[in-house]
Amino acid sequence: MRIGLIAMSGLRICKPELLELRFTFPRVQERAREIEALPSLGLLTLAGMTPADVEVEYLEVRDVDQWSLPTRFDAVAMSTLTAVSCEAFRLAARFRAMGVPVILGGLGVTLSPTEAMKHADAVVLGEGEVVWPDVVRDLRRGALQPVYDARARGPFDMSQAPMPRFDLLSPERYPRFSVQTQRGCPWACEFCASSIRLEPRFRVKPVEHVIAEIRRLKELFGSPFIEFADDNTFVNRVRAKELLRALEKESVRWFTESDLSIAWDDDLLSLMRDAGCAQVIIGFEHPKYAALDGVEQKVNWKARMVGRYEEAVRRIQRHGITVNGCFVLGLDGTGTESAEDILRFVRESGMYDVQVTYLTPFPGTPLWDRMAREGRILDESATERCTLFDVNFRPDRMTVAELEEAFLGLVGRLYEETAVQERSRAFREHLRSARRRPAAA
């Protein structure tokens, strides 16, 4: 039996103005190219637990409508994010018309299962590892079930994590790779559409598994740059330090996502630097308390930390690790002045890099449910707008057009060459002065 594992590659943006801007700014262009080249770790992971007598092939498709379909597969399994779910449905229809059974999985279908079930022979909800052996068994005997719900049987025990089949990737196509060291996050942000929606419990992959994956990548691809596909890497500090000590011996460069609590653990930050950490991505979302109030729904963590944001950036960067701050435009209670607030904060904090997106209600999240109740989702069927770079809801203190204008203006000012150079200069300057006065924050 031969299964085709299909990912839909490339970034997605519906709004043409942003696409045009993307080509104007070298830093954005460069980052977009790097990002577009990341493979689907979910599919490579499933390949890693497919029985040896089943052949698997990993494919990436950019344009599902133009693609001339391969005829060599007995079944295809596709990975979906919300923005590309409709593309996956169209591709599924073409395979099914040829008589090839289609299995859909990933965050996209997990968050909107009812629609997905109309378009596939089987839909996998939640973490694939939990049910993939059953899917393959049922495929072999021609008895696929319509739904495999891993959430009812999870969580997946990360000590059983298979080695992803990185060997299915061609070396010249991929400049960087993702490795996952943990799943879940202690916080519950209303908008979060990430892996806590697959399975909410926080878990870590054993350090020796992570190191084995990195060694495999080095064996196959030399000295690859690694992006940890984590939600919040350093939550469990004891284990994080153990991981960092092991990583130091591997001489790799990497970046990851974290909350800002790491800023007050100097020991951790030193270990991160020594272990090859180039950058941490942190979701600040907005620099004002009122905008963040209620966003994190367990203990209002984001709003409570906002007064310490600037200090956090300085404390992390003085270890030589750059901070890439993520901000969101369109939070409730904010108007067009947000763009100015974010710009000012980015400049004053001296953060090295920045990402800005629209607040985006993804189906299946608490934010979507609330906005749907309030009648604020612009078009509930337009899932292709869930790109983080297209507006799909009505903001409460500005019009959609005002939000879009503020966003484009902010992107322009954040990424113009002088702004990028200024951030890089500020980082180097800050590092120099921290080295002169190591105790200063």
Interacting residues with ligand B12 (CB under 6 A): 7-13, 35, 38, 40-43, 45-46, 77-79, 81-84, 103, 105-108, 111, 124, 127-129, 132, 178, 180, 193-195, 198, 229, 231, 257, 362, 386-389
Question: Which residues make Cβ contacts (< 8 Å) with residue 115, sequence separation at least 6?
Answer: 85, 89
- If the CB atoms of residues 41 and 272 are measured against ligand B12, the closer one turns out to be 41
| Cβ 250 to ligand B12 shortest distance, Å | 20
Query: Which contacts of 106-109 are long-range, i.e. CB under 8 A and separated by 24 or more positions?
Result: 106/42, 106/78, 106/79, 106/80, 106/81, 107/80, 107/81, 107/82, 107/193, 107/194, 107/195, 107/197, 107/198, 108/80, 108/81, 108/82, 108/83, 108/84, 108/383, 109/80, 109/85
Residue whose CB is less far from ligand B12, 127 or 332:
127
Tokens at residue 245, please?
Answer: 């000590």
Report the amino acid identity of residue 137. Answer: R
Cα dihedral 162, 163, 169, 171 in deg (nearest 10): 170
Closest CA to 333 of 291, 387, 374: 291
Say what angle helices 266-274 and 309-317 make with each other, to 10 degrees: 40
280 φ/ψ sector (left φ>0, alpha ψ -120 to 50, else beta): beta
- Beta-carbon contacts of 428 under 8 Å, excluding residues fewer than 6 positions away, are none
C-alpha span between 317 and 122 (Å, rounded) = 47
CB 247 within 8 A of CB 276: yes
Considering the complex, state which of residue 6 and residue 303 has its C-beta at the smaller distance from ligand B12.
6
Which residue's Cβ lies closest to ligand B12? Answer: 105
Amino acid found at 351: M
Q: Per-residue DSSP letters for 108-126?
A: HHHHSHHHHHTT-SEEEES
Closest CA to 155 of 202, 110, 122, 123: 202
Q: How far apart are CB 24 and ligand B12 at their closest, in Å?
A: 18
Nearer to ligand B12, 103 or 247 (CB): 103
- In whole angstroms, the minimum distance from the beta carbon of 275 to ligand B12 comes to 20
* Closest distance to ligand B12 from the beta carbon of 367 (Å): 11
At its nearest, how many Å lie between ligand B12 and the CB of residue 60?
9
Identify the H or E element spanning 283.
strand 277-285
Instruction: Say if residue 363 is exposed, middle or buried (CB neighbours under 10 Å; 0-12, 13-18, 19+).
Output: buried
Q: Which residues pair with 183 in a beta bridge?
A: 203
Q: Which is nearer to ligand B12, 77 or 282 (CB)?
A: 77
User: Is there a contact between 154 and 126 (Cβ–Cβ < 8 Å)?
Assistant: yes
CB of 196 to ligand B12, least distance (A): 9
Query: Closer to ligand B12 at the Cβ: 47 or 305?
Result: 47
Taking the least distance from each CB to ligand B12, the nearer of 192 and 306 is 192
CB closer to ligand B12, 191 vs 301: 191
Nearer to ligand B12, 329 or 434 (CB): 329
Query: In the complex, what is the shortest distance from the CB of residue 298 to ligand B12, in angstroms, rounded to a whole number?
Result: 18
- Cβ atoms 85, 116 nearer than 8 A: yes
Task: Report CA torsion sign: 17, 23, 25, 29.
Answer: positive
User: Whose CA is closest to 144, among 75, 81, 210?
Assistant: 75
Min CB(163)–ligand B12 separation in Å: 13
CB of 23 to ligand B12, least distance (A): 15
Shortest distance, position 17 Cβ to ligand B12, whole Å:
15
Give the nearer residue to ligand B12 in terms of CB position, either 350 or 363: 363
At its nearest, how many Å lie between ligand B12 and the CB of residue 108? 5
Residue (14 or 431) nearer to ligand B12, CB: 14
Nearest approach, Cβ of 185 to ligand B12 (angstroms)? 9
Q: Is there a contact between 145 and 124 (Cβ–Cβ < 8 Å)?
A: no
Is the Cβ of residue 100 or residue 229 nearer to ligand B12 in the bound state? 229
